[in-house]
Amino acid sequence: MTEYDPLRLRDAARFLIGADQVPDQVTEAWERGTASLPAGRCWEAVRVPGRLGQAVIARGFALGMGVEVGGWPVICDPAEGTLSFLVPVGTSATWAVPGTVCLADGPVPVPAPTVDAPCIADGRPVADLIARCDLPVPHWPQPPLVALAGDVVLTDPVLLAQGLQSAAQPDAITGRGVGHG
């Protein structure tokens, strides 16, 4: 069974919904599954195809781009086959990575963050965990990291864009990028 830290859940809820909302409503929704949280208030979400997102996480982990310290909170939606990276508000104004979308308005289904260790398990990067994951519901392969000040560390959109563009480029052997079939 997945374990949740009530204090961590409350801190994450407080950040994910904003100070003007009641975190208890979010944690109650998480007890039933996912909470529908508003993008554009405290964060935005860059939604990418699952394989491309996995490649970016693996690349970021290997290159030390913040993934390895829990700095890339990402939600997996297996029904849609997508990953959504939480990024700072304002990212959508300049986001222009083909094949991806930056959600800056409206509700996003957000599962409860777990106490599971982010980034690695048994020495493998989180991308290996995503590939092996068989959960049929939205979940966090990389749960949000709540900083000491109570803020959630968000994905750096510049590094994410660079990683997505690099991972989508055709390689010399196959002639295909991760995002291309």
Residue 124 pLDDT more than 50?
Answer: no
Has this prediction a pTM greater than 0.85? no
Q: Is 106 helix (H, G, I), strand (E, B) or coil?
A: strand
Does 176 map to a domain? no
Does 67 map to a domain? yes
Average pLDDT for 76-96: 92
Does 62 map to a domain? yes
Return the percentage of the chain with pLDDT > 70, whole number.
65
Per-residue pLDDT at 20 = 63
Average pLDDT, the chain: 75
163/131: higher pLDDT: 163
Does 173 map to a domain? no
Q: How many domains does the chain have?
A: 1
The dihedrals phi and psi of 57, each to the nearest 5 degrees, come to -60, -45
pLDDT band (50, 70, 90) for residue 28: confident
Per-residue pLDDT at 174 = 46
Q: Which domain holds residue 112?
A: 6-168
Q: From 97, 38, 69, 80, select the one nearest 155 (Cα to Cα).
A: 69
Average pLDDT for 144-172: 78
Residue 117 pLDDT more than 50?
Answer: no
Does 119 map to a domain? yes
Does 177 map to a domain? no
Per-residue pLDDT at 178 = 56
SS (H, E, C) 124-143: EEHHHHHHHCCCCCCEEEEC
What is the C-alpha R_g of the chain? 16
Residue whose structure tokens are 């829990």: 70
Average pLDDT for 137-150: 74
Rounded to whole angstroms, the Cα distance separating 159 from 69 reads 14
